[in-house]
A and B are shown apart, each in its own frame.
Chain A
Amino acid sequence: DAGVTQSPTHLIKTRGQHVTLRCSPISGHKSVSWYQQVLGQGPQFIFQYYEKEERGRGNFPDRFSARQFPNYSSELNVNALLLGDSALYLCASSATQTRWGTDTQYFGPGTRLTVL
């Protein structure tokens, strides 16, 4: 079975532009989460979606938005890009969405975003 897939692999943008990152979860998984990993740090939680509804949001500005589609794939959108948005963006999927995070999250390879 295919794991979590993300596209594109790499992306270069300039300040002020917007970007859309895509994620396809493992087949049968209904929950998708997004994380930002800045170089040298651990991943930081951005969003969680379950059954097409936003279920959680981390401490990120409104320039960050996401959505989940009926096939459970997801998009992360970032507007008005800043240099500090340069990072590896990771998508994770899980079969369900439990309150205490007991359902294991499986991560994709990430999208490397560089903002110039």
Chain B
Amino acid sequence: AQSVTQPDIHITVSEGASLELRCNYSYGATPYLFWYVQSPGQGLQLLLKYFSGDTLVQGIKGFEAEFKRSQSSFNLRKPSVHWSDAAEYFCAVAAGYSSASKIIFGSGTRLSIRP
């Protein structure tokens, strides 16, 4: 069965420091992978997605993610975080079956920014 694991529940980094959020997936075929961000009380905003091609994907707000098939990982990175990046981050995989498609989310990583 498809699944997504985000091993870090909560991460705190200093403003201006680099960031890496970990994501591991389990999926039998070529995965379609996403990172979403959710601010408190808000819906989900798509940061970036990987379908195929270049394994380093650029997203909005200065984020990037790298797909590593050998490690079943899709880690999210940002070279320098801003206080406004504090939010919950969800890694997700698209799972196709029958005639439907759905997104399977990880449990999320809460990012706090230290001034």
Residue ranges of A at the interface with B (Cβ–Cβ < 8 Å): 4, 33, 35, 40-45, 48, 55-58, 90, 92, 97-110, 112
Interface hits, B57-115 → A, CB 8 Å: 90, 92, 94-108
Main secondary structure of the interface of B (DSSP, over half): strand
| Range of interface residues on B (Cβ < 8 Å) | 20 to 34
Q: A43-B44, A107-B43 are in contact. Are A101 and B102 (CB under 8 A)?
A: yes
Q: Chain B residues near A92 (CB, 8 Å)?
A: 44, 103
Q: Residue on B with the closest CB to A46?
A: B102
Contact indicator A55/B100 (Cβ below 8 Å): yes
Residue ranges of B at the interface with A (Cβ–Cβ < 8 Å): 4, 32, 34, 36, 41-46, 49, 51, 90, 92, 94-108
CB distance from A86 to the nearest CB of B (A): 15
Q: Residue on A with the closest CB to B94?
A: A101
Contact indicator A48/B44 (Cβ below 8 Å): no
